Structure 1
Amino acid sequence: MTPSPSGHPRRLIEPMPPAPKQKKTAAVVTPIHSPNTFSATITPLNSNLLSLEDYANISTGNLWDRIPLEFQLEDQSYHPAVQAQIKWFSTHHDYLARTSERAAPYIYYIYEQLHQRQLPMELVLLPINESAYNPFATSGRGAGGLWQMIRGTASQYGVKQNWWFDGRRDIYASTKAALDHLTYLQNLFNGDWLLALAAYDCGEGTVLRAIRRNAAQDKSTDFWSLSLPEETRAYVPRLLALANIIRNRQAYNIDLPSIDDQPYLSQVDIEIPISLAKAAQLAKMNLAELKKLNAGHKYTEKTPLGSYKLALPIDRVDLFKNNLSSYHNHRHAMNEPEISQEDKLALQEKNPPQHQITYPRQGKQPIIRRVRKGDNLSVIAKLYKVSSNDIMQWNHLKSAGLKPNTKLIVGFMDAPNTIKNVNPNSKKQNTKFAENNTAKKNKYYKVRTGDTLTKIAKQHNISTSSLEAHNHLQHKTLKAGQRLTIPYG
């Protein structure tokens, strides 16, 4: 998907076949219309090529046997550019074997999505072109993941990218976006998949300009006739060559590692966040292996904010869910206050069970903050010197999203001889201990021409986020004469 101009090829894990050599006098490859013209360019090691009918009678449980049954693109293996790529692959069996091993956890899911959308099954081979099926692959221009998506294109298709998650490396998010984009390109080029694939590589603008140039000169506007970047002229033939190789593996004596013809991955909803490292422990998996399945997670030890989905091998899901439940029950038990049964019953009568909160220890009462428009959970947590996870647990939040005017428990303060259980929806006056205590020591600052939030924050040795939170700023634009509250400490 990354437009990659000539001279700046993608940085892949392993070398890919070179672009076929062109004569200096020829600007483009001449279209070939007769399949027999170049049939002798490269001869398979035996002539018993398997037809689709042959594959239909095979039931081996190997996904590589089923994939060719749903190929849709015209076989253009007679073209010299495709022949050059076939020659490279047919002499680099080890490359295909290693790529097949890397593809094993992901390829069935991609196959399934292509099947549901009725798209050409040749596209299941596109991540070989893009990343050699490595979700951690990154190009020199910043494209990332199996489908090598650049940030801008990924954002257009709703792929989440933030401080802890990069959806371009997530098998689920990136595959949906890539197939959406490929479908868009196929429609843009009136169903011509070769032009769509070329546009996926070098950008739709590059292909459209090449088409306009040829049309202006009354030349053919098919892929083979266009003057495109060198990498793109190799990119499309490479995919066609891969399809030919996969369809005729036996003819080329290529033995790929078998991939089970059944789903491998499943997603589990993680409502109370845990780190990837903890998830690996609960799933009894090697952390590196779990990271491969969840490559979108940027950190393994940090706990993300809010709920998320975790990809696991299907055979680990039940074990993980059981261990996760035990883990949360244990944490809940460790945090339970030591109060009498009489007190518990009294609290349940006053407050509905769904609103009860877990107290760190006996003899504390909650500090309540009313959520204001623009409030952020992490900023609030920093203000009250607690963790975001604590606030989520105290308030039974399933995600980090906050609604204005909601009453939020943000901590506890000493209240000798009292044990209180607070209903977040209670109409009673809430304690504002932390805010009132802080307000007494706040300072004020009058904005001057040229001031910025960052500059003011540095002058007063506080964070920009803290300054924004205390002043309920909806944007970072300041006006001269504006009065800002400078929080204490």
Structure 2
Amino acid sequence: MKAVLKILFLAVLLTLSTFANTHLNILKDLDIDKSFMQTSYYQQIKQGINERQIADFTRTLKNGYKHIYSIKDTIKISGLPEIFLYLPMIESGFANHAVSGVKATGVWQFMDVTAKNYGLKIDKYIDERRDIVKSTKAATSYLKGLKSQFGKWYLALMAYNCGEGRLNKAITQAGTDDLATLLDPTKGYLPSETRNFIIKILKASMISKDPNFALSKDATLLNQPVLATSKVSVPGGTSLKQISDSIGVSVKRLKDDNTHLKFAFTPPNTKSYHVYIPQNKKDIFAKNFKPVVANNRFYSYTVKSGDTLFAIAKKSGVSHKAIKEYNELKNSLVSVDQKLIIPRSDQNKFQSYVVQNGDTLEILSKKFNVKVKDIKDANSLASNDNLQVGVKIVIP
């Protein structure tokens, strides 16, 4: 019996020792002095790791599983510590559509100016803060620059959150860059958001190494590859529908993989632009995709008083359905001074329609604001032809 108890006691000591060494390595990776383990902040982090915290951590990983592998890979290549995976986890919960109250956007919550300084494009057609690949590369470059400026990774993390100027001021006021000193809430050297930010990142990293998580099946979320994407170049103004048709992937899937595109087409003001497609579709894309010359394929139209979507469609010679698709309109309502992108391409001048019970040429003429003659000409209908229910026709 004594022998069994001794073995159990040694096993507990070994577990505690391993746990402590793991935490020490985490601190070391961030250039935090090991004396931090003697502070109340460390004790609060360690004691705060419980079943609820692990469940919250796991839920966030599941929400962001699609991006985790790509982010981890880029972080590893850039030479940043692995713990930096938890920066976007805390900043945005890995939500690529996240927008803060001060308009920080994307997984990495880049502000407009900082994003542009690191090569991310933002205009009326694209917001590359939502391009997982490009934004992660930009974030690692920014963080490496902060590390070079402040000398320690944990300071780079805090500067990322509150800004270089604010951190410099805090260090000057404190007379030291010691983490425990900077975290003192009574002194208020740093904003509470930044103090909580570094604590949350440390806690997330420690949870990832906690036996209750590390030995669970959910731990595979941190290393589970998802269906990889390939970057391909297409002419400016190419619709996702055209790419979708060429590779047999839904437009929805393409939108999900290309959240940096504000519309369902690539920027018409560039000669070419990149799109991410499933990696296993790259050969099919090379074989099937036929680029369309993109010169002047689109123009901008400002909605005027009295305009309707159908009137604009008639005026432009483009179907209202195409205009809705390219502007991602949920309905046919438009408002004065609203900017619309109007495609010029002939492929968008017709839309398919399945004849419904009760339809006549006159009814369709009024419904789509198109002349009866134009519908007949587009479908080679004689004057006495009746419309058959279920038949697909085109509406100019």
> Once superposed, what is the RMSD of the aligned Cα atoms?
3.8
Which of 128, 139, 159 is the equivalent residue of 1:199? 159
Q: Provide the C-alpha distance between the structure 1 equivalents of 2:122 and 2:135, rounded to a whole number of angstroms.
A: 11
Larger Rg: 1
2:98 is matched with 137
Which of 58, 65, 75 is the equivalent residue of 1:114? 75
1:279 is matched with 243
The answer to whether the 8 Å contact 2:63/2:94 transfers is yes
1:316 is matched with 281
Deviations 1:279-321 (A, max 9, x none): 3444433433332321111112676343111112322333333
CA apart distance, 1:80: 3.7
Q: Provide the C-alpha distance between the structure 2 equivalents of 1:272 and 1:153, rounded to a whole number of angstroms.
A: 26
Q: TM-score, normalised to structure 1's length?
A: 0.49
CA apart distance, 1:175: 1.1
- For 2:194, give the aligned amino acid: T
Q: Provide the C-alpha distance between the structure 1 equivalents of 2:17 and 2:230, rounded to a whole number of angstroms.
A: 33
The answer to whether the 8 Å contact 2:86/2:204 transfers is yes
Q: Provide the C-alpha distance between the structure 1 equivalents of 2:247 and 2:16, rounded to a whole number of angstroms.
A: 44
- For 2:79, give the aligned amino acid: Q
Sequence identity (%)? 27
CA apart distance, 1:262: 7.7
Q: Provide the C-alpha distance between the structure 2 equivalents of 1:49 and 1:280, rounded to a whole number of angstroms.
A: 54
Q: Provide the C-alpha distance between the structure 1 equivalents of 2:97 and 2:58, rounded to a whole number of angstroms.
A: 19
Is 1:247 aligned with 2:209? yes
CA apart distance, 1:240: 1.1
Distance 1:204 1:320, change over 3 A: same
1:235 is matched with 197
2:137 is matched with 176
Q: Provide the C-alpha distance between the structure 2 equivalents of 1:238 and 1:156, rounded to a whole number of angstroms.
A: 27
Which of 145, 162, 180 is the equivalent residue of 2:123? 162
- For 1:287, give the aligned amino acid: V
Q: Provide the C-alpha distance between the structure 1 equivalents of 2:181 and 2:49, rounded to a whole number of angstroms.
A: 23
- Equivalenced residues, count: 277
2:392 is matched with none
CA apart distance, 1:162: 1.0
Distance 1:290 1:92, change over 3 A: farther
Distance 1:89 1:252, change over 3 A: farther
Q: Provide the C-alpha distance between the structure 2 equivalents of 1:50 and 1:299, rounded to a whole number of angstroms.
A: 54
Q: Provide the C-alpha distance between the structure 1 equivalents of 2:244 and 2:109, rounded to a whole number of angstroms.
A: 27
SS of the residue 1:266 aligns to: strand
For structure 2, list consecutive stretches of 5 or more residues without a partner in the other structure: 1-11, 183-188, 302-315, 319-343, 346-396
Q: TM-score, normalised to structure 2's length?
A: 0.60
CA apart distance, 1:104: 2.6
Q: Provide the C-alpha distance between the structure 2 equivalents of 1:79 and 1:145, rounded to a whole number of angstroms.
A: 34
Which of 191, 199, 224 is the equivalent residue of 2:180? 224
CA apart distance, 1:381: 6.6
Deviations 1:386-423 (A, max 9, x none): 99xxxxxxxxxxxxxxxxxxxxxx99xxxxxxxxxxxx
Which of 193, 203, 224 is the equivalent residue of 1:260? 224
CA apart distance, 1:140: 0.5
- For 2:177, give the aligned amino acid: T
Distance 1:283 1:78, change over 3 A: farther
SS of the residue 2:29 aligns to: coil
Higher relative contact order, structure no. (Cα contacts within 8 Å, ≥ 6 residues apart): 1
Q: Provide the C-alpha distance between the structure 2 equivalents of 1:186 and 1:133, rounded to a whole number of angstroms.
A: 23
Q: Provide the C-alpha distance between the structure 2 equivalents of 1:323 and 1:85, rounded to a whole number of angstroms.
A: 54
- For 1:316, give the aligned amino acid: K
The answer to whether the 8 Å contact 2:237/2:265 transfers is no
Distance 1:51 1:261, change over 3 A: farther
2:386 is matched with none
Which of 120, 143, 151 is the equivalent residue of 2:112? 151
1:44-443 map, 5 Å: 48=15, 72-73=29-30, 79-85=39-45, 87=48, 90-190=51-151, 192-215=152-175, 220-226=176-182, 227-250=189-212, 255-256=217-218, 258=221, 259-261=223-225, 264-271=228-235, 273-300=237-264, 304-305=268-269, 306-325=271-290, 328=291
The answer to whether the 8 Å contact 1:82/1:241 transfers is no
CA apart distance, 1:205: 0.7
Distance 1:82 1:89, change over 3 A: farther
